[in-house]
Structure 1
Amino acid sequence: MLLEGEGALGTGMSVKATETCKGCTSSVKVTEAQIERLLSKIKPSDRIDDDSYKTRLEACASCDGLAYGTTCMHCGCLVRLRASLKEGRCPHPESQVNPKWLA
Structure 2
Amino acid sequence: MQSVQGCKGCSESVQVSPEKLARLVEMATLNRIAASDEEYERRLDRCLSCPSLQYGTTCRHCGCLVAVRAKLLDSECPYPGESRWGE
Q: TM-score range by the shorter chain?
A: 0.7 to 0.9
Residue 26 (str. 1) matches residue 40 (str. 2): no
Residues 47, 53 of structure 2: 8 Å contact kept: yes
- Of 46-55 and 30-39, deviating more is 30-39
Tell me the equivalent position of 2:74: 87
Equivalences, count: 81
How do 1:67-82 and structure 2 match up within 5 A? Answer: 67-82=54-69
Deviations 1:17-43 (A, max 9, x none): xxx526322332211121111112122
Tell me the equivalent position of 2:35: 48
**Which runs of 5 or more residues in structure 2 are unaligned?**
none
Output the CA distance in 2 between the equivalents of 1:72 and 1:22.
8
Residues 52, 61 of structure 2: 8 Å contact kept: yes
Residue 65 (str. 1) matches residue 52 (str. 2): yes
**Which runs of 5 or more residues in structure 1 are unaligned?**
1-19
What is the CA distance between 1:102 and its match in structure 2?
Answer: 3.5
Output the CA distance in 2 between the equivalents of 1:22 and 1:46.
28
Output the CA distance in 2 between the equivalents of 1:45 and 1:89.
14
Percent identity between matched residues is 40
Cα 1:76–1:22 change in 2 (3 A) is: closer
Output the CA distance in 2 between the equivalents of 1:28 and 1:45.
27
Aligned-CA RMSD value: 1.9
